[in-house]
């Protein structure tokens, strides 16, 4: 373990242990994740790599805007407006299929070490499944369409696929510094162990955005990696700032199990995705 900030028991302090990710997980890392449903690794990628990812985002964005792309493998692309009034992509889907650099990034052997958090032989990175490598670009501006996200679990998607809920991990690679006073990811530790009723009805999915007394916020630096269990309740809080200071970019790598279900250009949006802005 790299740095022990404080115990997880006092959630209101937003303090928790930080770790380093190697080629294998330690017993301490597995125990922490099993109990809390999330973990934070420092300095997964360098600042130079972060800058290169920003450049790749810009290339993909320019191409999609020029071609008026609305769907990628059946997943709606969310557009919005930057602080300067320029049109931007605020949610990229399957970005790994549109950048050789991002595709190669998914081959980092340390990502496979995370499979141990699930521990089944069918674990894999969803390069062609779910929404592939997602990039979320949050910015709080006058015409932004993506500044926050309400409470939800990632496991709900399995229900829309008509299958039982399968173990999965959402792996976040953070592309900006973001402290808890700038909005950002909020988690309810331990809720990955809840029963099915609470996973479905504990909160109003996406609609409810109010803080929870038991939530914990993550303080991240660009290049950090975080992991949360797909069954864990979480939200993305609105930044109190407007403009450049509110900008937060995060890549999400899905680690999944179960039946192989690749998507293609023939795939259709799921029912709930049809309500995403920009899709018609």
Q: Quick one: fold of 30-256?
A: Jelly Rolls (2.60.120)
**How far is residue 189's CA from residue 92's CA, in Å, rounded to a whole number?**
27
Domain chopping of the chain, boundaries: 30-256
List per-residue pLDDT tens for the chain, 280 residues long: 433 333 343 333 458 999 999 999 999 999 999 999 999 999 999 999 999 999 999 999 999 999 999 999 999 999 999 999 999 999 999 999 999 999 999 999 999 999 999 999 999 999 999 999 999 999 988 777 788 888 988 877 666 556 677 899 999 999 999 989 888 899 999 999 887 767 777 888 878 899 999 999 999 999 999 999 999 999 988 898 988 999 999 999 999 999 999 999 999 876 555 554 443 3
């Amino acid at each position: 373990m790299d740095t022990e900030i404080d115990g997880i028991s006092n959630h209101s302090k937003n303090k928790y242990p930080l770790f380093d990710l190697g080629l294998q997980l330690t017993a301490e890392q597995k125990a922490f994740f099993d109990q809390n449903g999330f973990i934070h690794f420092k300095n997964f990628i360098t600042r130079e790599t972060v800058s290169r990812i920003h450049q790749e985002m810009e290339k993909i964005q320019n191409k999609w805007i020029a071609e008026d792309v609305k769907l990628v493998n059946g997943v709606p692309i969310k557009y919005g407006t930057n602080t300067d009034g320029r049109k931007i992509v605020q949610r990229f889907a399957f970005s790994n299929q549109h950048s050789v650099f991002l595709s190669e990034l998914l081959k980092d052997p340390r990502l496979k070490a995370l499979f141990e958090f699930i521990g089944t032989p069918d674990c894999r990175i969803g390069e062609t499944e779910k929404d592939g490598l997602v990039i979320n670009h949050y910015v709080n501006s006058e015409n932004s369409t993506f500044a926050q996200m309400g409470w939800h679990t990632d496991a709900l998607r399995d229900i829309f696929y008509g299958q039982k809920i399968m173990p999965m991990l959402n792996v976040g690679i953070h592309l900006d510094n973001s402290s808890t006073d700038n909005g950002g990811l909020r988690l309810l530790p331990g809720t990955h162990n809840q029963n099915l009723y609470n996973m479905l009805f504990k909160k109003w999915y996406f609609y409810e955005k109010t803080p929870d007394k038991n939530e914990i916020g993550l303080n991240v630096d660009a290049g950090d990696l975080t992991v949360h269990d797909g069954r864990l309740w979480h939200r993305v809080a609105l930044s109190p700032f407007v403009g450049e200071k509110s900008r937060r970019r995060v890549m999400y790598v899905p680690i999944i199990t179960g039946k192989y279900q690749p998507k293609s250009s023939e795939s259709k949006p799921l029912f709930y995705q049809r309500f995403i802005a920009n899709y018609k």
